[in-house]
Structure 1
Amino acid sequence: MQETVEKEYSPEYVSRLFDRMASTYGVLNYISSFGFTEIWRKRCINNLDLDQDENEKIGYDLMSGMGECFSLIKDQLPNCALTGLDISETMTNKAIENISKKRLTKIAVQQEDVFFNSLESNTADFITSAFGLKTFNHAQLQALAKEVYRLLKSNGKISFIEISIPNNSFLKPFFVF
């Protein structure tokens, strides 16, 4: 059992999984959540409560997928320097396409493992992640917390969102569906 759990959370497995899912990921996410993923992403970004000031903000969107949060971030901070980081080559390529389609500026996309990345320490004014935590086991979540701490400036902000299976017996069947 332990080998199966570890295989499911290995970087290679997760990368291949999202490479295979990329063509239908956005549509299936939207349909299976009854459109709530869009509302939740917006809420996640709005929760950052980012102030626009004269200083350019630097932000990282971890496990950025196809860059679904990029426009939401740029709506709040049009001049920020944003880096999206994702392990999947296909998702990263789709993020780059979306940046081009939406004519977003000052966004870099890097295909890297969040645990072994080239981002500099203490550089982020904010870090976001929408629906990326599900791919990690408990030990990896602890490592992610340390990585976020390494990347954030002392006054930096974070906002993450993830779907979990509700304990409520009325809601649980809808979620599982």
Structure 2
Amino acid sequence: MSENANVQKIVPFEGSKLSKKEQIATMFDDIAYRYDFLNHFMSLGIDIIWRKKALRYLKAIQPKLMLDVATGTGDFAIMAEKHLHPEKIVGIDISEGMLAHGREKIDKLGLSDKITLQSGDSETISFPDQTFDAITVAFGVRNFEHLEKGLSEMYRVLKPGGRLVILEFSNPTVFPIKQLYNSYFRYVTPLIGKWIAKSQAAYSYLPESVKAFPQGEAMRTILTNTRFQAVTCKTLTFGICSIYCATR
């Protein structure tokens, strides 16, 4: 079984008759109201540093039109607007609950003319070929039901010379970080999710999805096979997170 096939088998609700995509949408709808807080709380705020580092990969190309896939509540899109100042950012996500919270944040920040959040599926992106200068995905690709299909769609809507930046969790390999990380993810994270977000299933799914996701050279190979060029991988914080950068 390929690594990607293994990823497809990891779902939030074992025994559910819903597809992985439907389960992901339901899970994020359920935790949307506490998602931002839990992200920062469980990572001790390091996720903010990771996002800033990922956006640096786009500074050289100065994108005017950006797409943020699996945008959630729009955190990455908001940060991209602040640091890169594109003319327009479109964020897409399959969770209406997450999008609703994101739109509220964007309205309060007065960024509705710069950032638009809309319902959208990574596997069927509703934009013409070669539309965007840059595409970002923060902590979302491991939730794709069909990884290669989602990557191919992003390739399709990216302009020639455009850049894709993916920020995703990965599994550290260095002792004792690996052991501490695995224990935290396996035992502490689900309890925090149950306590704060009232969803143990969502935060039990998180470590399983990270464990199953193709990382490092395996992910670089998948991106290359999807026709992306100049594919790089940079690990952060002892390998807890990785930035993948690729060009069309």
TM-score (norm 2): 0.63
The structure carrying a bigger helix percent of its residues is 2
Equivalent in 10, 19, 28 of residue 20 of structure 2: 10
Query: Aligned in 2, Cα 1:6/1:174: closer, same or farther, shift over 3 Å?
Result: closer
Matched residues in 2 for 1:63 and 1:81: separation? 17
Q: Which runs of 5+ in 1 are unaligned?
A: none
1:174 aligned partner? 180
Separation (CA, whole Å) in 2 of partners of 1:130 and 1:7: 19
1:38 aligns with 2:42: no
- In the other structure, the counterpart of 1:89 is 96
For the aligned residue pairs, the C-alpha RMSD in angstroms reads 2.1
Contact in 2 for aligned 1:59/1:83 (Cα 8 Å) = yes
Q: 1:174 to 1:28 in 2, by over 3 A?
A: farther
Q: Does structure 1 conserve the Cα–Cα contact (< 8 Å) formed by 2:133 and 2:159?
A: yes
What residue number does 1:63 align with?
70
TM-aligned CA distance change 1:174 to 1:130, over 3 Å: same
Change (3 A) 1:102 1:154: same
Whether the 8 Å CA contact 1:50–1:76 is kept in 2: the answer is: no
For 2:47 and 2:179, how far apart are their aligned partners in 1? 18
SS at match of 1:154: strand
Q: Which runs of 4+ in 1 moved over 4 A?
A: 6-9
Shift of 1:100: 0.5
In 1, the alpha carbon distance for the partners of 2:10 and 2:43 equals 28
SS of residue paired to 2:58: coil
Q: Is the Cα–Cα contact under 8 Å of residues 60 and 127 in structure 1 kept in the other structure?
A: yes
Give the drift of 1:50.
4.2
Partner of 2:134: 126
The share of aligned pairs that are identical, in percent, is 32
| Residue pair 2:54, 2:167 contacting (<8 A) in 1 also | yes
1:107 is the counterpart of 2:115: yes
CA-to-partner distance for each residue in 1:60-86, whole Å, 9 max, x for gaps? 000001010122211234352110001
Q: Which amino acid aligns with 1:5?
A: K
Q: CA deviation at 1:47?
A: 1.6
Gapped regions of structure 2 (runs ≥ 5): 1-5, 13-18, 185-248
| Contact 1:63-1:129 within 8 A present in 2 as well | yes
Call closer, same or farther: CA 1:58–1:129 in 2, change over 3 Å: same
